[in-house]
Amino acid sequence: MTGFALGADQEEWCGHLRALSAGRLRPLAEKGEPGRVNRPLLAALGEEGLLERVFSSGALELCLLRESLAYGCTEAETALALQGLGAYPVLRSGSEAQRERWLPGVRAGRTVAAFALSEPGAGSDAAALALEAAPDPAGGWRLSGEKRWISNAPEADFYTVFARTGEGPGAKGVSAFLVPADRPGLSGEALEMLSPHPIGALAFDGVPVGPRDLLGEPGRGFRVAMDTLNLFRPSVGAFAVGMARAALDATVTYTAGRTAFGGVLRDLQAVAHRVAEMATRTEAARLLVYAAAGAYDRGAGDVPRRAAMAKLLATETAQYVVDHAVQLHGAVALQRGHLLEHLYREVRAPRIYEGASEVQRTIIAKELYAQEAAQ
């Protein structure tokens, strides 16, 4: 990528992904049951080598991957992203034994991963989590408490779990663990949510974990979480951009052919100007996502601020674009099965998960004032 323009090879790859998502992945997604893990879809992502790309790509390539899949099949994009989110801490902070045991299955789409951070009283405020990791007299710890709004729960094969081991206050007392789903004392239930992908709650009743289950060092779990989120936040923005571009293209096509009030909708200035605004906002979000991904790949020092900006603008923009796309289509867009009805349900959640928009604004402001204080 030169500046903010994609190279010919990148454009070709994105076109291939859009065709793949519409041609092979969308039919598999449509056969899945809403709220359940779609294992045939995951297997197809593995067969196509896309899950491997999640772990071998830089941030920019991950963004292109997520944006292109989202354009044609949001379920495929989400299934891929959840595998990455749940297993990336294992790749970066896990032991060699943990990586050898779990990552081949994740890459192949056979093993389902989940990132278990949120709790009933600790969603966006991750440092406030209360899941207790109490020392076990026999060695290791016992996990007691609850996780909630965990994607892929309760069907995942393993969970990256963040618990309070108490080495210090707040974020300093959090450790990360790899917890297999069959560990005694671990149970879960599905939650019925607006988004169609699987989300559930987990209950930990003295679940045993030991030093071999640690991801990284005791008391350094919050860093494991932030390391993962700093990579995935710009690509959440890419997911949002993919949805916005799909909604925009559908709107351009619809308004170019739909007749009303004695003419074609595109000839009404109010319609044309709204479409122009949708396009401008989408392009601005796309460029900011690419810039944040490029900063991550360069190892820039301002990645947290850029990642927060990218997620904030892209997810808020996608909400705007999809909402106005529905408005310009009218009642037809509210029918079950219509692309925009589907996107309208999908687009709301990214403004909340992996740090709500308000949290992103807090991060941005904190980084700006820290920079001012350092001058």
Instruction: Check pLDDT > 60 for residue 69.
Output: yes
| Dihedral, CA of residue 155, residue 158, residue 164 and residue 168, to nearest 10 | -150
- The CATH class for the domain spanning 223-374 reads mainly alpha
Topology given in CATH for the domain delimited by 113-219: Butyryl-CoA Dehydrogenase, subunit A; domain 2 (2.40.110)
Q: What is the pLDDT at residue 5?
A: 74
3-state class (DSSP) for residue 76: helix
DSSP string, 168-204: SSGGGGEEEEEEETTSTTEEEEE---SSSS-EEEEEE
Q: What predicted TM-score, i.e. pTM, was given to this entire model?
A: 0.92
Q: What is the mean pLDDT of the chain?
A: 93
Instruction: Give the angle 130-92-207 at the CA atoms, nearest 5°.
Output: 35
Question: How confident is the model over 17-54, as pLDDT tens digits?
Answer: 999 999 999 999 999 998 899 999 999 999 999 999 99
Least confident segment among 48-57, 159-168, 236-245, 303-312: 159-168
Tokens of 35: 């709220």
Q: CA dist 33 to 145, 193, 249, 257, 314, Å? A: 29, 13, 27, 34, 28
| Dihedral, CA of residue 32, residue 34, residue 36 and residue 41, to nearest 10 | 30
Helix (H) or strand (E) holding 349: none
Instruction: Check pLDDT > 90 for residue 211.
Output: yes
Instruction: Check pLDDT > 50 for residue 255.
Output: yes
Instruction: Check pLDDT > 80 for residue 170.
Output: no
Angle between the 339-346 and 303-329 helix axes, to the nearest 10 degrees?
140
All CATH 1.10.540.10 domain ranges in the chain, comma separated: 8-108
**What residues contact 143, with CB distance under 8 A and at least 6 apart?**
131, 132, 133, 161, 163, 177, 179, 185, 204, 206, 207, 208, 209
- Among 184, 164, 187, 189, which residue's Cα sits nearest to residue 175? 164
All CATH 1.20.140.10 domain ranges in the chain, comma separated: 223-374
Q: CA dist 128 to 93, 114, 131, 146, 203, Å? A: 22, 20, 10, 13, 18
Q: What is the pLDDT at residue 34?
A: 87
User: Is 1 or 64 the better-scoring residue by pLDDT?
Assistant: 64
Query: For residue 224, how many other CB atoms are within 10 A of its CB?
Result: 25
**What residues contact 290, with CB distance under 8 A and at least 6 apart?**
1, 4, 60, 63
Q: What is the pLDDT at residue 2?
A: 46
| Whether 359 contacts 122, CB under 8 Å | no
DSSP structural state of residue 3: T
Output the CATH code of domain 8-108.
Answer: 1.10.540.10
All CATH 2.40.110.10 domain ranges in the chain, comma separated: 113-219
Angle between the 221-257 and 303-329 helix axes, to the nearest 10 degrees?
30
> Among the options 119, 346, 354, 367, which is catalytic?
354
Residue pointed to by tokens 């980084």: 367
Q: What is the pLDDT at residue 169?
A: 73
Instruction: Check pLDDT > 90 for residue 195.
Output: no
| Whether 231 contacts 62, CB under 8 Å | yes
Q: What is the pLDDT at residue 354?
A: 86
Residue 316 among the catalytic residues: no
CA–CA dist 341, 374 (Å, integer): 48
CA–CA dist 372, 191 (Å, integer): 44
Instruction: Check pLDDT > 80 for residue 168.
Output: no
Q: What is the pLDDT at residue 122?
A: 77
